[in-house]
Amino acid sequence: MSKKIKTKSKTKAKSKAKAVAVVRAKPKLITKSKPKVKAGVKVKAKTKTKTKTRSTGVKKSVPSSDVNYSVEDININSLQNILPAIKTPTQHKKYWWFAVLIIPLACLGWFLSQSWLVQASFSKAITYPKATVFGVNFGGLNMSQLDNQLARQESQFESKKITLVNVKKQWEFDFSKLGVKFDEKATSQAVWRLNNFSLIDKYRLITGDISPIVAPVISVDNNTCVKTLSVIPVIQVQSKDATVFYDQGLKIKPDEPGTKFSVVSTCKALPKIVADNLSVANVSFDTTAANITKADLTPKLAQIQGIIGKSLLVKNGAYQQTLTPEQLLGLLDINKIGTEVKVDWSSAKLDQLVNDIAGKVNTNNSAPSLGACQYLINSGGHWLDKTATKNFFLSLGAESSRSYTLPIDYHAPDIGNRTPVGAGSRGTIYLTFDDGMTYANQIMNYASCYGVKVTFFEIGERVGTDAVALRRAIAEGHAVQSHGHYHAIYDYGERSYDWQYNDISQSISDIMSVTGVRPTYFRPPGGNRTANTYNAANANGLRLILWGDSSADATVGGISSSQTCANVLAGAYPGASVLMHSVKSSTANAVPCIIEGLAARGYGMQALR
């Protein structure tokens, strides 16, 4: 009996081995689908699970399920032996999720065990990952160590300097004077935040996707910074307005923005400059826009084209001048008032043009004969009507005629008369002239016409040269007074009493020798006097006098007649003695203006007696 059992077991084992070998080589296992048999044979194998108990007490399970097979080149008779050795798909499904879960977890565990991330996340000592601040590496420090390192940086911070540069100029400033401060605590927290990254971000930190460089927290006191940087001079490149020009037609030259040094912008840029650990940086500039842009001018081109689009002929008799569109464009002003751009003729440029034309077409009459108190305002002649000509240009439009006959009119001579002025209601002013009689005759002519009397302070040395004019002055009721014999303008008062006495005495003799009239006043040269001067004048019977109103005509380089007149009128007051010099032609020419101006203000003019 035992032999039969052995034989059966061996036979079954051989069949199983043979069946496994055959299945590995050929069959295709198809689950949950209809079986296909190449030869058209459909086989259904049905097995029941039975539990057989051997004498050893071991239970053996035999699968009991319906399985469909597609068989190729397999003996159908052998299927009954093969099928029990094949595990079903239901049995495989019980274990696949275990493999899918365990394998990735095992890989991740290995990776984390090799990384500092585990230590950074779970170590009892709080450590920082690698970080760089101001170019210093702070990797691997705990919080206390990091704070100490940053505190050391902070203590050295305010002594640092920065150089601000513009082209070839540069300025150096201390951080402390700029109000620049380093916030150690905020910077420490910024480094600490690196350690609080998620695992993914920490991995990105390692791979370089996230930078380990921490920008130090820098603050700038704006008021301190602005005050300190105000020593930098204003650096500016002016913006350029858009302009219209003519080149075979109207065209626009675009505007160009300018730049201007900005203290505020420079201060705002300082935190980043300092955080980047830069010791030299450029100053900041703000862009300045042009006042008139190309966009402003574009809508105005049609208006301008209507005004200057065609040439203009101006003429009269033999005179002709053609103004081209380019020349007409040059007479226009383009201004921006608020947000509006206005195109108009330039009054100053039109005046220039009209005066140029007048200079070419005007003809003057011959100078007429004048009486002693007459003066020529203008000789008259054929002159261009400037007002009418200017108005023609101001009204020129697209529909205006492009040919204009210049209006020229005849003018008779214009002669003025100098007539006596009144005694004045505000008091008397004394017009006095020092040094010599160079332009005394011209002055006396004016005085005669206006009916006023003046005073000449004559230098004794010049009496011989000025004798004729001095005699005329006395004859016409003017006064001649002493200005000393020698014109010692710089040190007259410092000379001895005897010298000054003799000089004054000599000047009196000089004047009397020509005029026969003894002077009553003495004016020291340059007003230079001392007590000796007063005493010497008194001893000679003369009163020392200076001046109360000055024309300033002795100014180095000289002044104009109009300025001489303005100076005298500005300083006038009742009883004033006006200082002038009769050796200055501009002063002589100013006399009519001075006399008429003083008379209009209510002053009469007399000589010093």
Q: Which of 407, 237, 425, 243 has the alpha carbon at shortest distance from 319?
A: 407
Round to whole Å and give the CA distance between 140 and 142: 7
Contacts of 453 (CB under 8 A, 6+ apart): 447, 477, 478, 479, 605, 606, 607
- 258's CB contacts (< 8 A; 6+ apart) are 236, 237, 238, 239, 240, 287, 288, 290
Separation CA 454–CA 449 (nearest Å): 13
Residues 6+ apart with CB under 8 A from 80: 45
Q: Could you tell me the residue ranges of all domains in the chain? A: 2-93, 125-242+253-289, 297-417, 427-605
Q: Which fold has domain 427-605?
A: TIM Barrel (3.20.20)
On whether the CB atoms of residues 415 and 445 are closer than 8 A, the answer is no
pLDDT above 80 for 436:
yes
| Range among 166-180, 267-281, 302-316 with highest mean pLDDT value | 302-316
Helix segments in 261-340, DSSP class H: 263-275, 294-297, 301-308, 325-329
**Predicted confidence (pLDDT) per residue in 57-81, tens digit:** 444 444 444 444 444 444 545 545 5
Helix (H/G/I), strand (E/B), else coil: 252? strand
- How many Å separate Cα 304 from the centre of its chain? 31
Equal fold, 297-417 vs 427-605? no
pLDDT confidence tier of residue 198, bands split at 50, 70 and 90? low
Confidence of residue 29 (pLDDT cuts 50, 70, 90): very low
Over residues 497-510, the mean pLDDT reads 98
Please, how many CA atoms are within 13 Å of residue 459, restricted to the half-sphere of its CB?
17
Alpha helices in 374-496 (DSSP H): 386-394, 440-450, 467-475
Return the closest-CA partner of residue 351 out of 318, 321, 384.
Answer: 384
pTM surpassing 0.85? no
- Confidence grade of residue 24 (pLDDT, cut at 50, 70, 90): very low
Average pLDDT over residues 306-331: 94
The predicted structure's pLDDT at residue 102: 75
H helices of 531-603, in order, are: 531-539, 561-571, 585-600
**Residue 55 pLDDT:** 41
**Range among 8-17, 89-98, 139-148, 382-391 rated most confident:** 382-391
**Of 27-41, 176-190, 466-480, 555-569, where does mean pLDDT reach its minimum?**
27-41
Burial label, 407 (beta-carbon count in 10 A; 0-12, 13-18, 19+): middle
Cβ atoms of 488 and 495 closer than 8 Å: yes
d(CA 201, CA 207): 10
Report the alpha-carbon distance of residue 92 to residue 60 in Å, rounded.
19
Where does the pLDDT of residue 462 fall: very low under 50, low under 70, confident under 90, or very high at 90 and above?
A: very high
What are the phi and psi torsion angles at 222 (to 5°)? -60, -45
Rounded CA-CA distance 467/436 in Å is 10
Of 150-154, 190-194, 310-314, 333-337, the range with the lowest mean pLDDT is: 190-194
Choosing among 3.30.499.10, 3.90.25.10, 3.10.20.800, 3.55.50.30, the CATH entry for 297-417 is: 3.10.20.800
- Is the model more confident about 213 or about 568? 568
Q: Is the pLDDT of residue 421 over 50?
A: yes
Give percent above pLDDT 90 in the chain: 60
β-strands 427-435, 543-544 pairing? unpaired
pLDDT category, 398, cuts 50, 70, 90? Answer: confident
Share of the chain above pLDDT 70, in %: 74
Strand locations in 412-492, DSSP E?
Answer: 414-417, 427-435, 455-458, 479-482
Residue with tokens 């010497």: 536
Scanning the structure block, which residue is given the tokens 């140029």? 356
Q: State the average pLDDT over residues 328-334.
A: 95
